Structure 1
Amino acid sequence: MTQKGKKQCFRRTSPPDILRDLPGNVIDEILMCLPFRDAVRTSILSKKWRHIWCSLPQLTLCYTLWKPEEDLTDFPSNFVRIVNHFLIFHVGPVTKFTLCVPYLDICPNIDNLIRHISRNGIQHLVLRLPIRGKPYILPSSLFTCSQLRHLTLQNCSILYQRDFKGFDRLTSLELRDVTIESKFIELLISRCSLLEQLVLQISGALSNVIEISAPMLRSFDYTGNIRSICVKNIPVLAKLSLSHREYYVAAGKCNIAKFFESFSALEQLHLNDMFFAAGAGEVPMRLSYDLYCVKHLCISSIYLSDSNEVSCALCLIRSFPNLQSMEIKVECDDNDTPALESLEVEPFSDVTFNHLREVKLMQTNGTIPEMQLMKLLLAKSPKLVRMLIEPCLVEDSATVKVLAELTKFQRASPKAEVVYKLDKHPNPPSV
């Protein structure tokens, strides 16, 4: 066989270059699923792949990508090297960018990084910055990103931006443990006309009341001092979550009736605890209006021996006539005396939970107020299908006592099943 024939035979039998023949959009999807370090390393796989990472529109920079978590000695210098590499070689738009650097005392070169992505069409930006040392002050260039749709900022300081025009396309905003003036929070939210999801986790007490005005807002998760927030113009808000930090408990009074009057479209309410009950003064039996849209109520922490907390909880429950599911986590207290006789069935003679189908009670101990709550819900819920009880007690004798008591309670629903779930029993008993 001639030399020419050998070459032709070799060409006919050579396997195709699968990597080279992949469509460009497929290669992009593969690289965007990889950690940044591994995406860069793919440049050695094929000539076609050599510079593809340089134009990826979605990138994540996290300390775990280029330095083992247990050895952070050289992390600052490595971080600077990686950022510089990105700034020099990356070209084209950056539509999604995540930066997570929780262990640095300082943030070298982040200003240049933010300036770079702010000029390249950023739409989804997540900055989780160091929790040590002084808070990182965000550069003003961040507030020129006119195409932003999602913004998450954590552990940073935001200065008042007098020339801020707004994020016209922003639909999701998360501010966690940030230092920011009340006035700028209001301005920031009011100038995001399409905002649908809002998370505010305030890291310090604010001297002024924050007024939230967001006509498109559908979900609001707030951690802070409820007495420092005023919610207005939220006609489509469907999901609300409220939490507090302990040092805010005694920070003034909250008018529960006035606070909830703006939530006409509310469907889901999550109260991390009943903290707004502290200092609330006299609580009405029910609100002067009903919130007909509320279908799901979750209270993550309540002391049934605290009269203020019980009063506030019952006031809300009475005012949700279309409630379908309820989840309550009970806090243990040495005092097992009922807070009020209002947990008895008789004071609810004018109330029936006509739509309540599922109830979940957690961390119960079989105390008197807990048993009264179970009795009340069973007696006033004609459509109840299932009550799940997850106790924290483990003594068999106590379990038998609670189960025996539950069998005596009158049930408005013939289909109501009470499931008593214990970790040591794979098949929880039903009564």
Structure 2
Amino acid sequence: MMPPKITDLPENAINAILMCLPLRDAVRTSILSKKWRYKWCKLPELTLDDKLWKTTDNLLSPSIKFTTIMYNILTLHSGPLTKFTLSMSELKKYPKIGSLIHFLSRNGIQHLVLKFSEWNRYKLPSSLFTCSQLRHLTLQNCLICPSPAFEGFDMLISLELCHVSISSEALENLISSSPLLENLVLKMSDTLNHIQIKAPKLRSFEFTGCIKFISLKNVPQLAKLCLLYGESFEESEKCDLDNFFQSHPALEHLHLEYGSSQFLVAEVPTRLSSALNYLKHLYVSMDELDDLSCALYLIRSSPCLQDLEVEVSMEESDYKDDIVDEVSASFSDVGLNQVKTVKIAGIIGTKLEMELIKLLLAKSPMLVRMIIQPEQLWVDKEKGVKILAELSTFQRASRKAEVECHLE
């Protein structure tokens, strides 16, 4: 029995093959046979990036080549187009974009990725806000100005905004008008004012940038939170740490980069009034005492913690010796009974760092692995050996615990 010819494959198999190819190669399959001539025109997923309009022909500008590609898509494509990715980081002009987005809005687009040049943010046309079937939306380097008539994306599940220009009010409305939103990523280069996030289905939230205040009160299903604040956080309003975490009872993953504590910490209590019983994975970075206080507070309040990662950037001169005693005393009645893995990076061998490592080893009976990664710029091999020698003297609550010190 002869194997089937590639030209006789079923439609779904052909689409699967074509979607694995760059668009240029997918279009070139038109020469295989008459049956394949317009197969690419029915693809439900298309990806266009800078490679398509790069040319060695000096007489043909990238903008002209891009316009030709857009014209072919707008005139030849037939059927639904459910996923479309457009990356134009190297193009200075954006011809035909308005027509393209209008075309997508009428063809059932569900997953849309639009990335423009950081040197020329593109103002999105009103037709984008009529894409009623959108489930996943990623926008980069855009100007976002929804019309007053915009009523939201009823089916949107994930939203990622990177270096966009949008008012705090418009951003609030965009999020709250997406009732099914589960995943939200905001990487903002413009400073924002107050934002109140209302997203009852939200499961994951990642924020990077500068903001005065974020309210996350109506996110009862939030399981993953990642915060990284920019440089201008001096004007940030402080929130009540206890109230902040009581509003997130389902939190499982928490990632706090440098600067986050300046937004979170007004006054650090000894422990939460109610424990973070679902928190299993914690990453904290520390470069000042507020960060340290916040980190210790979260560790003490997380009885089910399994994985802990700490990034340290503190010198001996940043604190007094009595701080070391306070840290030790604050863990006198704490047991880290579920912790299995610990990673501490950036240490230079200060008393505080060594005391923290000592406490984690002594309080973690289920510990399997601890990785110590000294700061290479400050720790030479000789000092690293001294750190390793001191580590070997620390008592371990877990007989299975392996301690690795990466000196290089």
Same fold (TM over 0.5): yes
* Aligned equivalents of 2:140, 2:25: Cα separation in 1: 26
Which ranges in structure 1 are unaligned for 5 or more consecutive residues? Answer: 1-14, 424-431
How many residues align structurally?
404
Note closer, same or farther for the CA distance 1:45–1:361 as it changes in structure 2 (3 Å cut): same
* Aligned equivalents of 1:62, 1:332: Cα separation in 2: 43
- CA deviation map 1:376-412 (0-9, x unaligned): 1112222222111122336332122111111221222
Moved over 4 A (4+): 68-73, 336-339
* Aligned equivalents of 1:238, 1:293: Cα separation in 2: 9
* Aligned equivalents of 1:286, 1:211: Cα separation in 2: 26
1:162 matched to 2:148? The reply is: yes
Question: Residue 4 of structure 1 aligns with which residue?
Answer: none
Query: Quick one: which of 301, 312, 332 aligns to 1:319?
Result: 301
Question: Residue 202 of structure 1 aligns with which residue?
Answer: 188
Question: Residue 71 of structure 2 aligns with which residue?
Answer: 84
Decide which moves more: 401-410 or 275-284: 275-284
- Determine if contact 1:103/1:130 at 8 Å carries over to the other structure: yes
Decide which moves more: 110-119 or 375-384: 375-384
1:356 matched to 2:339? The reply is: yes
1:221 matched to 2:221? The reply is: no
Higher-Rg structure is: 1
1:376 matched to 2:359? The reply is: yes
- Determine if contact 2:192/2:211 at 8 Å carries over to the other structure: no
1:231 matched to 2:213? The reply is: no
Q: CA deviation at 1:342?
A: 5.2
Which ranges in structure 2 are unaligned for 5 or more consecutive residues? Answer: none
Question: Residue 295 of structure 1 aligns with which residue?
Answer: 280
Note closer, same or farther for the CA distance 1:384–1:362 as it changes in structure 2 (3 Å cut): same
- Determine if contact 2:226/2:254 at 8 Å carries over to the other structure: yes
* Aligned equivalents of 1:351, 1:254: Cα separation in 2: 25
Decide which moves more: 93-102 or 256-265: 256-265
Q: How do 1:28-67 and structure 2 match up within 5 A?
A: 28-67=15-54
Query: Quick one: which of 119, 122, 135 aligns to 1:136?
Result: 122
Q: How do 1:274-313 and structure 2 match up within 5 A?
A: 274-277=259-262, 280-299=265-284, 301-303=285-287, 306-313=288-295
* Aligned equivalents of 2:31, 2:60: Cα separation in 1: 29
Q: CA deviation at 1:69?
A: 10
Q: CA deviation at 1:354?
A: 1.5
TM-score of the two chains, using structure 2 as the length reference = 0.92
* Aligned equivalents of 1:409, 1:19: Cα separation in 2: 66
* Aligned equivalents of 1:189, 1:316: Cα separation in 2: 28
1:260 matched to 2:242? The reply is: no
* Aligned equivalents of 1:72, 1:278: Cα separation in 2: 54
Note closer, same or farther for the CA distance 1:71–1:376 as it changes in structure 2 (3 Å cut): farther
- Determine if contact 2:240/2:267 at 8 Å carries over to the other structure: no
Decide which moves more: 61-70 or 354-363: 61-70
Decide which moves more: 402-411 or 60-69: 60-69
Superposed CA RMSD: 2.3
Note closer, same or farther for the CA distance 1:297–1:16 as it changes in structure 2 (3 Å cut): closer
Secondary structure of the 2:317 match is: coil
Q: CA deviation at 1:196?
A: 0.9
- Determine if contact 2:116/2:141 at 8 Å carries over to the other structure: yes
- CA deviation map 1:172-194 (0-9, x unaligned): 11111111121222221122111
Q: CA deviation at 1:335?
A: 3.2
